[in-house]
Chain A
Amino acid sequence: MTDLVDAAAGSAAAPVADREPLLKVENLTKYFPVRSGAFGAHAVVRAVDGVSFEVRPGETLGLVGESGCGKTTTGRMLVRLLEPSGGKIIFEGRDITRAKGRKLRALRQDMQIIFQDPYASLNPRHTVGRIVAMPLQVNGINPPGGVKKRVQELLETVGLNPEHYNRYPHEFSGGQRQRIGIARALALNPKIIIADEPVSALDVSIQAQVINLLRQLQRDLDLAFVFIAHDLAIVRHFCERVAVMYLGKIVEIGTRAQIYENPAHPYTRALLSAVPDVTKLGPAGRIKLEGDVPSPINPPSGCVFRTRCWKAQEKCATEVPPLTIKPNGSVAACHFPEQGELF
């Protein structure tokens, strides 16, 4: 299964295909124990259920899906804010799944995260200077020219006034705060950034400012990104490759063109056709999905999407579809893949 993903990743990202993967995730799982039922019977939520992908240096991978599909949990496991229940995370050839203490701290110099909520992710009692300097301080790094100079450089890089070094987060707007979070993530010159819904809390006109900044940093610093978002148009704009998740599993992964123009998985098609699009006025001819996402405590047998899929047949209930290369070139988990241009 992983070989196939590798093969597709290779074909999918031609310019960087010759570089070794920076980050490799194999069969990653996260189960949360919960109590349910009248007698408190133990059950598990399969938040992430066997996810595999890889990211090459300088590459941008998008993780998309609806709420509860496990994209945020996956992102948090990558930077080890959550302990995986199973599977492997390999960074630059080293297995980091169980890294601890000093080793983990060293690892986080190369891997940083940008959070969704710029109001909750900055300490209101610390000045901006202190917030951005924190990663340097924690790792005992004394950059040439001093910490203050480095912090001011970083503030300038993300488009903030370096003189605002002594201000507090509440003095900044949402977009500016997200820039502070980005400056903090850049402080240690990471190789990869996990961005978890970095713009969804911002107003539309501010979203574009932050997206343009991230794109520019990605190009200038050759940063790899795992970009987690529910907004399919923003992911298309930012990511070269895209993985679509549903109920804790990747159902399709491929290049931007494969996913957005000619997707193989019915869920990918339904998701794309549900996005209200400014280029189409009036009621759109949409694929209508009935009902809601099933509970991850008790996922359907076989293909997890079959309960909402219009193509589902008997086979879908009994056999879990493996991730295989489909005619469009993407890797998808479906017994009866779709074909043909989407629009």
Chain B
Amino acid sequence: MSVTPAPAADEPYLRVRDLRVQFPTEDGLVRAVDGVSFSVRRGQTLGIVGESGSGKSVTSMSILGLHNAARTKISGEISIGGRDIVGMDDEKIREMRGQDMAMVFQDPLSALHPYYKVGVQIAEAYKVHHPQASKAEANKRAVEMLDRVGIPQPERRAKQYPHEFSGGMRQRAMIAMALVNDPALLIADEPTTALDVTVQAQILDLLEDLQREFNSAIIVITHDLGVVAQIADDVLVMYAGRAIETGSVEQVMRSPQHPYTWGLLASVPSLHGDAEIDLVPIKGNPPSLINLPTGCAFNPRCRYAGLNGNRSFVEVPELRPAGQDGHHVACHLSGADRRRIYLEDIAHAGVAQ
């Protein structure tokens, strides 16, 4: 624990420790996030990778304090700029939301209000945190932001409705709205999944430019390993609500250690290499979060479960150092086994080649 309450300059802006998010349902307790820890400094980008149901979006909603307290059990620590928001009063979180942390959603058409002009919506977001600002000031600020995110003719565009914007323009408007109060932490949940590749490239470039300009901490949540490779500094791979591998982007992409990460890399086709080689898919389906497999949650889909006695079936693996500094993996395989299997089975397939 740090002794000083206010974080020093090199302290991470966001620190999540042992986060657990559970939803009681009629069918049983859904453990959507089960003991995840990570941190992000200002100017850094963390990529969170996982499939549907891995808990990546639930994690981001917790950081924004968007879960309904009556229906959700949250424990652990989410420290944003030195303040822990777990259990914090709704009103206080609302004061922070937008100003300290903001979110860019996947689908801008459903995240923008269809009934209000785009400029009005951005100005409203500004006025929430600047109640003394006049309407004219807020509108001016909205137009500035639209200009900053690369929307041509921002004055005219601010007076249009979301349906008059193309998909890429809407996502730019979403980013403008998220950044209008200069938040230090920006969470982008699948920000480019709904977009075409050429527009995706524009949005990713924009996020990088804005990060350089505002020195923000960014979390990008995605299932696309290519997006992670391009913009992330650090990577967190999630499976069934747990972190199974973390490290720098080089470590995780170039010397992945967990069989699930291998599976992701070997099952995505590449633009390079031999196109005739078959992909190596991960067998089976992601597990139900109500009824997780005992031991390692990945064991029913893992081709190497059982190489280490029956530990995979009885013991939940903890994140442990995986060789290089800062690289951690939650797997029962020994380091030697992992190196051997990676070279023999994985290194030639999909984007891993």
Interface residues of A (CB under 8 A from B): 66-67, 173, 175-176, 203-209, 211-212, 215, 230, 232-234, 236-237, 256, 260, 270-284, 286, 288-289, 292-293, 343
CB neighbours (8 Å) of A208 from chain B are 266-268, 279-282, 350
On chain A, the residues within 8 Å of B202 by CB distance are: 288-289
**Which residue on A lies nearest to B267, using beta carbons?**
A208
Distance from B8 Cβ to chain A, minimum over Cβ atoms (Å): 28
CA distance A256 to B279 in the complex (A): 18
Residue of A nearest to B263 (CB): A205
Considering only CB atoms, which chain B residue lies closest to A176 in the complex? Answer: B285
Known: A205-B267, A256-B275. A276 touches B229 (CB 8 A): yes
Instruction: With a 10 A CB-CB cut-off, give which of B200, B250, B278 has the most chain A CB atoms.
Output: B278
Chain A hits for B267, CB < 8 A: 204-205, 207-208
* A and B contact pairs by CB, cutoff 8 A, 7 listed: A67-B167, A204-B264, A208-B267, A233-B270, A278-B225, A281-B230, A292-B169
Tell me, rounded to whole Å, the shortest Cβ–Cβ distance linking A204 to chain B.
Answer: 6
Residue contact B51 to A232, C-beta cutoff 8 Å: no
- What residues on B are CB-neighbors of A279 within 8 Å? 229, 270-272, 351
New A-B pairs, 8, CB < 8 Å, besides A204-B267, A205-B286, A278-B226 = A67-B196, A205-B282, A206-B281, A208-B268, A230-B197, A236-B271, A271-B198, A276-B204
B308 contacts the other chain (CB 8 A) = no
CA distance A208 to B166 in the complex (A): 31
Q: Are A211 and B269 in contact (CB under 8 A)?
A: yes
- How far is A200 from B208 in the complex, measured between Cα atoms in Å? 27
Chain B, range 212-261, C-beta contacts under 8 Å to A: 223-231, 249-250, 253-254
Separation of A212 and B280 alpha carbons in the complex (Å): 9
A188 to chain B, nearest CB (A): 27
B286: A residues at CB distance < 8 A: 203, 205
B265 lies within 8 A of chain A by Cβ: yes
When C-beta atoms are compared, the residue in chain A nearest to B51 turns out to be A203
Find out whether the CB atom of B272 lies under 8 angstroms from the CB atom of A274: no
> How many angstroms from the CA of A237 to the CA of B277 in the assembled complex?
8
Interface pair B51/A276, CB less than 8 Å apart: no
Contacts of A272 in B (CB 8 A): 271
| Contact status A233-B271, CB under 8 Å | yes
B270 and A271: CB pair below 8 A?
no
* B267 CB to nearest A CB, Å: 3
CA distance A337 to B166 in the complex (A): 29
Contacts A203-B52, A237-B279, A275-B226 given: A66-B198 contact, CB under 8 Å? Answer: yes
Given contacts A67-B196, A203-B52, contact A277 B229 (CB under 8 A): yes
Q: Closest chain A residue to B277 by CB distance?
A: A237
Write the nearest CB–CB distance from A234 to chain B, whole angstroms. Answer: 5
**Which of the listed residues A211, A270, A275 has the most CB atoms from chain B within 10 Å of its own CB?**
A275
B226 contacts A236, C-beta separation under 8 Å: no
| Least CB separation from B276: chain A residue | A237
Q: Check B205 for interface membership: any CB of A closer than 8 A.
A: yes
Residues on B with beta carbons closer than 8 Å to the beta carbon of A292: 166, 168-169, 199
Q: Do the beta carbons of A277 and B281 come within 8 Å of each other?
A: no
| CB–CB A284/B166 < 8 A | no
- The answer for the CA separation of A320 and B49 in the assembled complex, in Å, is 44
Assembly CA distance A133 to B281 (angstroms): 29
Residue B201 lies at the interface, judged by CB distance under 8 Å to chain A: yes
A262 smallest CB distance to B (angstroms):
13
- Cα–Cα distance between A256 and B280 once the two chains are bound (Å): 21
**Which residues of B sit under 8 angstroms from A232, Cβ to Cβ?**
197, 271
Would you call B250 and A281 a contact (CB within 8 A)?
yes
A282→B51 contact, CB < 8 A:
no
Assembly CA distance A293 to B168 (angstroms): 10
Write out the residue numbers on chain B whose beta carbons fall within 8 Å of the beta carbon of A215.
278
Chain A residues contacting B268 (CB-CB under 8 Å) are 204, 207-208, 233, 278
For the complex, what is the distance from the CA of A153 to the CA of B249, rounded to whole Å?
Answer: 45
Give which listed residue, A173, A237, A280, contacts B229 with CB less than 8 A. Answer: A280
Nearest-CB residue, chain B, relative to A267: B198
A276, B226: Cβ atoms closer than 8 Å: yes
Residue of B167, B198, B228, B266 near A274 (CB, 8 A) is: B198
The proximity string for B residues 274-317 relative to A, scoring 1 for CB distances below 8 Å and 0 otherwise, is: 01001111110110000000000000000000000000000000
A307 nearest CB across to chain B (Å): 13
CB distance from A120 to the nearest CB of B (A): 17
Q: Which residue of A lies closest to B54 (CB)?
A: A203
Distance of A204 Cα from B263 Cα, bound (Å): 9
Nearest chain-B residue to A235 (Cβ)? B269
Measured between alpha carbons, how far is A278 from B253 in the docked complex, in Å?
7
Closest 4 CB pairs of A and B: A276-B226, A208-B267, A208-B281, A237-B269
The distance in angstroms between the C-alpha atoms of A272 and B199, with both chains bound, is 13
Residues of B close to A173: CB separation below 8 A: 285
Which of A175, A203, A260, A270 has its CB near the most chain B CB atoms (within 10 A)? A203
Is the pair B350, A277 in contact by a Cβ cutoff of 8 Å?
A: no
> How far is A278 from B264 in the complex, measured between Cα atoms in Å?
11
Query: In the complex, A236 Cα to B271 Cα: how many Å?
Result: 7
Cα(A293)–Cα(B202), bound, Å: 13
Docked Cα-Cα span, A272 to B208, in Å, equals: 20
Query: Do the beta carbons of B51 and A205 come within 8 Å of each other?
Result: yes
> Quick check: A278 and B281 within 8 Å, CB to CB?
no
Task: Enumerate B162-219 residues with CB–CB distance to A below 8 Å.
Answer: 166-169, 196-202, 204-205, 208
**B269 x A286 contact (CB < 8 A):** no
The answer to whether B282 and A66 touch across the interface, beta carbons within 8 angstroms, is no
Most buried by A among B196, B249, B270: B196
Kindly identify which residue among A175, A204, A286 contacts B201, using a CB–CB cutoff of 8 Å. A286
Of all chain B residues, the one with the shortest Cβ separation from A239 is: B275
The residues of A that contact B227 with a CB separation of less than 8 Å are: 276
Which B residue sits closest to A64, measured CB to CB?
B197
Residues of B within 8 A of A289 (CB): 198, 201-202
CA distance A237 to B230 in the complex (A): 22
Query: Are A276 and B271 in contact (CB-based, < 8 A)?
Result: no
CB distance from B224 to the nearest CB of A (A): 7
CB-defined contacts of B223 to chain A, threshold 8 Å: 203-204
Q: Which of chain B's residues has its CB closest to A343's CB?
A: B272
Assuming A256-B275, A283-B208, A343-B272, is B230 touching A204 (CB within 8 A)? no
* Nearest A residue (CB) for B223: A204
Q: Give the complex CA separation of A278 and B52 in angstroms.
A: 20
